[in-house]
Amino acid sequence: MSQPLSADQLAFYREQGYLDCGRVLATSAVDELRAIIDGFVASARKENVGLSAEAGKSYTLFTPVFTVASRYEALVLQNPAILDILESILGPVFRLLEDAMFFKPANHGAALAYHHDNSYYGFPLDVPAVTCWIAIDDSTLDNGCLRFVPGSHLQDTPHEQITGTVLTRAAVDESQVIDLPVPAGTVVIFDKLTIHGSGPNTTDRPRRACNIVGVVPTVDSKLRHFDDTLNPYLRGGPAA
């Protein structure tokens, strides 16, 4: 049954910049999403984005998703529980900024450099944007769970470009980092300025995940330009 975030959850999110929302997706939905991402892996689509900065290791992002896989739209973009969570942060009118699926392969899955998502989006600091990340496999310390720097969203953090990649990287004090292992079906949300990354996958099974990023209606940023087909309103819409 869908429900918005509680006052305690909202307080934690506002203070820490991230929140484990618990298991939101049913096992059947997780199974369907797992099949979708495995299909993307098998098809080797040209739109795939490599997220590895390490030779001999890989971590792949697939985007866009819902325009290719209609079930993804039904399971994630139109999921009332997910939209209620986003509405708790963004208010009653928000649109899709980005949807993505992630594949960290067995044995040689790469770690993801610490960063915040606005280093790729380029929005003014006062534009609310929230990433809603969903574990499609159990996410563990051994297969590359999310890592956060709590409270890092309270100020912007300088980034540098990683030579030879599309990636940006923020300098991080490892003593401030927390690991967040979660079971499959769990939703984790975080702010566009929250520093996060993920560890390598050293297990013999892949680690899969997906997400959507919601943003309040806004003008284009210096790095992102909205398209009504790729960036539909998830709730509400432009004034008539």
Which residue segment(s) compose the domain that 55 sits in? Answer: 11-218
Q: Which pLDDT belongs to residue 222?
A: 83
Query: Residue 88: helix, strand or coil by DSSP?
Result: helix
Within 13 Å of residue 76, how many CA atoms lie on the same side as its CB? 34
In tens, the pLDDT along 41-73 reads 988 765 578 888 888 899 999 999 999 999 999
In tens, the pLDDT along 66-111 reads 999 999 999 999 999 999 999 999 999 999 999 999 999 999 999 9
Q: Which pLDDT belongs to residue 1?
A: 39
Whether 1 maps to a domain, the answer reads no
User: What pTM value is reported for the model?
Assistant: 0.94
Mean pLDDT within 117-143? 96
Whether 76 maps to a domain, the answer reads yes
Whether 230 maps to a domain, the answer reads no
Asked if the model's pLDDT at residue 239 lies above 80, the reply is no
In tens, the pLDDT along 175-210 reads 999 999 999 999 999 999 999 999 999 999 999 999
Residues 6+ apart with CB under 8 A from 19: 5, 9, 12, 13, 188, 189, 190
Whether 226 maps to a domain, the answer reads no
Whether 37 maps to a domain, the answer reads yes
Whether 239 maps to a domain, the answer reads no
Q: The domain that contains 193 carries what CATH number? A: 2.60.120.620
Asked if the model's pLDDT at residue 2 lies above 80, the reply is no
Looking at the 3D structure of the chain, how many domains does it have? 1
